[in-house]
Amino acid sequence: MSEKSEDALLLSGRMLARLLQWLCALAGGVVLLLIPIIVLVSQDMMPGFSSTNRSDTIEASPLSAIAIAVMLALILALLFRFFGKLRAIILSVGEGDPFTPENARRLDAMAWLFLGVKIMTVLVAGLRLHLASLMDKGAIDGNVLGFSLYDLDALLIVIVLFVLARMFRHGSAMREDLKGTV
């Protein structure tokens, strides 16, 4: 691979990670703003909102709706941290020094963060299911209960990240040994 194409790859990776961080922050802000709106709607303090389907959902169980919003905000916060660590790793690759204990720790943290995201996603799906059952409209969509290949992908990503972290830890120890070799 030429140095130019490698640089383009690192640059686009870094920019994408930064963009995703911004998107997570933006979406997180929007979700946090939704929490007081949910509270107001559940207290009938927003009359213009009461005729919509969304208000039915909130009135069915305001606590569940708030819990979903909080968990979505947490998922976005975890993803924000995940992309931050990814950006730091890409930066270190660009600097020509990727095999460091710090990067091993970052990969470990990324694996835990992604696992956290996956667990929170399952919890959100459970809460959506709970809300749907409360509304008793038989309108439980496939996304709530469906099992998709994405679930396996996510687990695979977690495993790959843990393995990569171990490889980086081993690589940084070998590099440390090589440093003192004359």
Partner 1 sequence: MPPEDEGGSITVKLDDLLHQRRMTLTELADHVGLTLANLSILKTGKARAIRFSTLRAICRALQCQPGDLLVYEEG
Q: What does the alpha-carbon distance between residue 129 and residue 72 come to, in Å, rounded to a whole number?
A: 15
Residue type, 96: G
Task: CB nearer to partner 1: give 163 or 174.
Answer: 174
Cβ-based nearer residue to partner 1, 4 or 179:
179
Instruction: Assess 180 for contact with partner 1 (CB under 8 A).
Output: yes
Per CB under 8 A, the segment of 40-48, 58-66, 116-124, 172-180 that binds partner 1 is 172-180
**138 vs 180, beta carbon nearer partner 1:** 180
Residue 167 within binding range of partner 1, rule CB under 8 A = no
Number of neighbours of residue 45 by Cβ within 10 angstroms? 11
- Joined tokens for residue 68: 């979903």
Contact call for residues 93 and 10 (beta carbons, < 8 A): yes
Q: Which residues ranging from 39 to 78 are in contact with partner 1 (CB under 8 A)?
A: none
| Residue pair 38/62 in contact by the 8 Å Cβ criterion | yes
Assess contact for 87 and 21: CB atoms under 8 A. Answer: yes
Query: Which of 129, 158, 157 shows the shortest CA–CA distance to 142?
Result: 129
Q: In the complex, what is the shortest distance from the CB of residue 180 to partner 1, in angstroms, rounded to a whole number?
A: 3
Q: How far apart are CA 21 and CA 77, in angstroms?
A: 9
Convert residues 118-157 into a mask of x (bound to partner 1 by CB under 8 A) and - (unbound).
Answer: ----------------------------------------
Residues 102-121 contacting partner 1, CB under 8 A = none
Q: Point out which residues bind partner 1 (CB under 8 A).
A: 173-174, 177-182
